[in-house]
Amino acid sequence: MRGFRIMVCLLLVSSTAGIAADNKTLATTLSFDQTVDRVVEREHKFVETMKRLHPLAETYIQNLHEDSDHNVEPVNDQYFLGRVDLNDGPRDSVFQKHHKGFLHHALHPLSAALSTRFLPQGFAQMVILDSDFEKTNYHFTFVRREFLGEARCIVIDVQPKEKAPKGLFTGRIWVEDRDFNIVRFNGTYSGHSDYTYYLHFDSWRFNLQSDMWLPSYVYVEESGTQHSALYHDLYLKAQTRLWAYDPEQLNREEEFTQIKVDSVVDDRPVAKDNAPVEAQRMWERMAEDNAVDHLQKIGVLAPAGDVDKILLTVVNNLIITNKLQIEPDVRCRVLLTLPLESFTIGHTIVVSRGLLDVLPDESSLAMILAHELAHIALGHHVDTRLAFNDRFFFADADAFQRLHFERPAADEEAADTKAMELLGNSPYKDKLGNAGLFLKTLQAHSPVLTNLISPRLGSKMATGDTTRMAALFNSAPTLEKQRIDQVAALPIGSRIKLDPWSNQLTMMNATPVALVSAREKMPFEVTPFFPFLSYSQADKKLVAQGAANP
């Protein structure tokens, strides 16, 4: 595809009330041709904005197979995590556990090496409609008006003209009618050949800041038809999620400029000295804090928030009922990545977003947390080399290679045994059947979904015939795929909602849905996105002020 053109971003300064009042009437007074002009102008501004931002982009791909009974299941998977840079076409610095040469093949940035593996750059491209989006290249057709959440949208079909360059977007766009930002586009890129193939995708943008809609979700699906001799029977689903947009999220310099020091008299008693045991605890906590702070700084660990409190409630249930004495206190944090893993950094229990998404109930969550709490209770300490902050002076993309929190097999076995003891004394002791079913389902899918169950920082939950907390198999009923009422694991993305700007996590507010067939259980599977789009609080205030000052 052609390179990005250099464009000048014009900043339009107007009064708050004036902007709101103008936008209120624009959608009804502009002709369709004028509307398209606004859309093109806003998309150019969006491209310039994206060049300044370098979010993390996580792509997870499941290749599928349909059997003779039309049951569709994953047969293998792939995973990428990288920091996006759109200044010179779509590229990213990939976070890897180990270096793999296929990521560096000199292929066309939008083509996927489908005969072997996909390239992450092809999925990064799907956040951009077209690097050279111009009226002269497209036919625009009005379709209808439609709400996506609270965003009222103009729906437009776009097709490249006959003599337009190859590789342009073809499909449908949704344009919110306040400022004419594209908030969703659904389709593919034109002009594939026997050697390149453009995947079909559904790309969503969120209003993360006032006047700023940024890519957040991309869903990809190919249906299993034969596309060419090279890309035979391509059948897959994939999700790309983007986050860590806020460049000031952990900027200590900004924090420093806001510190106000008051002149006070320190009349506290002289501090006591720290005994050796206390000093050792403080040293270990320092290593723990250094690691946690670094993971949060590079955008792979969520800031402390409400989801942590939910996890800590379960942990405290286990601590209290088992009368454990633990110093310093236990903390919980969430890793923002998809692969299913949990581990401890000192006395901080870390659980991945992906694992929280697929756990079926609280007792299954208690099982995960009990295993990590057992490590703490057994005195499995943090690597105190991390107390020296210079050990974190490495590139963000090297984090998964330089930081290791996996445990020796003997420690994992000891934690399993201790965790069974903790669960046996807990409020969850009579509700562990679903936890066992979850582990059975995990074991059944582990030979196929190798990337989903491959941890980036901790130890594997399943390896061959060995599964963590396997003793719970005995308390679980028989796994029956066709039973609608037996939900052993949830689809990916079932529980956790991520704010792509701040990295804050909340629980999803979704209405429970009654299943009508066993196919809808979809354990560990990729599904489409249909988010509820809403305007940022700043934009809502803008409109309210405009309404009050017509």
Rounded to whole angstroms, the Cα distance separating 531 from 528 reads 10
DSSP state of 11: P
Do 482 and 369 sit in the same domain of this protein?
yes
Give one DSSP letter per residue of 285-334, joined into a string: HHHHHHHHHHHHHTTSBPPS-HHHHHHHHHHHHHHHHTT---SS--EEEE
Residue 266 — very low, low, confident or very high, per pLDDT cuts 50/70/90? low
Is 489 within the bounds of a domain? yes
* pLDDT at site 89: 57
Do 291 and 210 sit in the same domain of this protein?
no
Do 221 and 312 sit in the same domain of this protein?
no
Do 286 and 234 sit in the same domain of this protein?
no
The tens digit of pLDDT for each residue in 459-508 reads 999 987 889 999 999 989 999 989 999 999 999 999 999 999 999 999 99
Domain count, the chain: 2
Do 432 and 391 sit in the same domain of this protein?
yes
pTM for this entry:
0.86
Is 152 within the bounds of a domain? yes
Do 60 and 20 sit in the same domain of this protein?
yes
Do 376 and 494 sit in the same domain of this protein?
yes
pLDDT beyond 60 at 13: no
The tens digit of pLDDT for each residue in 413-456 reads 999 999 999 999 999 999 999 999 999 999 999 999 999 999 99
As a whole number of Å, the end-to-end CA separation of the chain is: 46
Q: What are the residues whose beta carbons fall under 8 Å from the beta carbon of 466, sequence distance 6 or more? A: none
Is 523 within the bounds of a domain? no
Do 297 and 389 sit in the same domain of this protein?
yes
Beta strands in 2-105 (DSSP E): 56-66, 72-85, 91-94
Beta strands in 72-211 (DSSP E): 72-85, 91-94, 138-148, 151-160, 169-176, 182-189, 201-209
Is 267 within the bounds of a domain? no
* pLDDT at site 253: 44
The tens digit of pLDDT for each residue in 148-166 reads 999 999 999 999 999 888 8
pLDDT beyond 50 at 99: no
Residue 27 — very low, low, confident or very high, per pLDDT cuts 50/70/90? low
Residue 541 — very low, low, confident or very high, per pLDDT cuts 50/70/90? low
* pLDDT at site 248: 61
Is 322 within the bounds of a domain? yes
The tens digit of pLDDT for each residue in 276-301 reads 999 999 999 999 999 999 999 999 99
Is 507 within the bounds of a domain? no
* pLDDT at site 5: 27
Do 422 and 468 sit in the same domain of this protein?
yes
* pLDDT at site 131: 77
Is 348 within the bounds of a domain? yes
Mean pLDDT score, 209-237: 79
| Beta partners for residue 367, in sequence order | none
Mean pLDDT score, 179-191: 93
Owning domain of residue 280: 275-499
pLDDT beyond 90 at 550: no
Question: Helix, strand, or coil here: 260?
Answer: coil
pLDDT beyond 70 at 271: no
Q: What are the residues whose beta carbons fall under 8 Å from the beta carbon of 440, sequence distance 6 or more? A: 473, 476, 479, 488
Is 373 within the bounds of a domain? yes
CA distances (Å), origin 156, targets 36, 39, 177, 319, 457: 9, 11, 12, 57, 44
Rounded to whole angstroms, the Cα distance separating 453 from 456 reads 9
* pLDDT at site 66: 86
Rounded to whole angstroms, the Cα distance separating 49 from 79 reads 27
Do 185 and 332 sit in the same domain of this protein?
no
Using a CB cutoff of 8 Å and minimum separation of 24, what contacts does 27-32 make?
27/152, 27/154, 27/177, 27/178, 32/140, 32/142
Do 185 and 289 sit in the same domain of this protein?
no
Rounded to whole angstroms, the Cα distance separating 191 from 169 reads 10
Do 199 and 339 sit in the same domain of this protein?
no
